[in-house]
């Protein structure tokens, strides 16, 4: 795993923009309708989710040194 995903669930409203724009199907919505990571291995840290999240609830970075 070379990427780090930080979710701030208290800010998430479950609009699903991050899920739609993720090119690798890393993200999904949990039973409460909040964004959750379902396949972290696939993440390429492209940052599409963070870029377009209207609630500032998801942050993605490449791991330092990776």
Partner 1 sequence: MKERTYEKYFRQNRLPHIWCPGCGNGIAMKAIVQAVEMRGLPRDKTIIVSGIGCSSRASGYMDFDTLHTAHGRAIPFATGIKLANPELNVIVITGDGDCTAIGGNHFIHGARRNIDLTVVLFNNTIYGMTGGQASPMTPLHKKATTAPYGSVDRPFDACNLAQAAGASYVARSTAFHVQHMTDMIAEGISCRGFAFIETVVQCPTAYGRKNKMPDPAEMMKWMRDNAVMKTAWDRMPEEKKADKFPIGVFHRHQAVEYTEAYSEVITLAQEGGK
Of 2 and 6, the one with the shorter C-beta distance to partner 1 is 6
List, as one string, the DSSP characters of 3-54: EEEEE-TTT-----HHHHH-TT--EEE-TTS-EEES-GGG-----HHHHH-T
| Site residue total, partner 1 (CB under 8 A) | 22
CB atoms within 10 A of CB 34: 15
Q: How far is the CB of 52 from partner 1 (least distance, A)?
A: 6
Q: How far is the CB of 38 from partner 1 (least distance, A)?
A: 17
**What residue ranges bind partner 1 (CB under 8 A)?**
4, 6, 10-17, 19-21, 51-57, 59, 61
């Amino acid at each position: 795993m070379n990427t780090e995903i930080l979710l701030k669930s208290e800010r998430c409203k479950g609009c699903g923009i991050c899920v739609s724009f993720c090119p690798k199907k890393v993200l999904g919505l949990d039973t409460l309708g909040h964004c959750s990571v379902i396949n972290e291995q696939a993440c390429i840290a492209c940052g599409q989710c963070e870029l377009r999240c209207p609630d500032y609830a998801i942050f993605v970075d490449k791991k330092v040194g990776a």
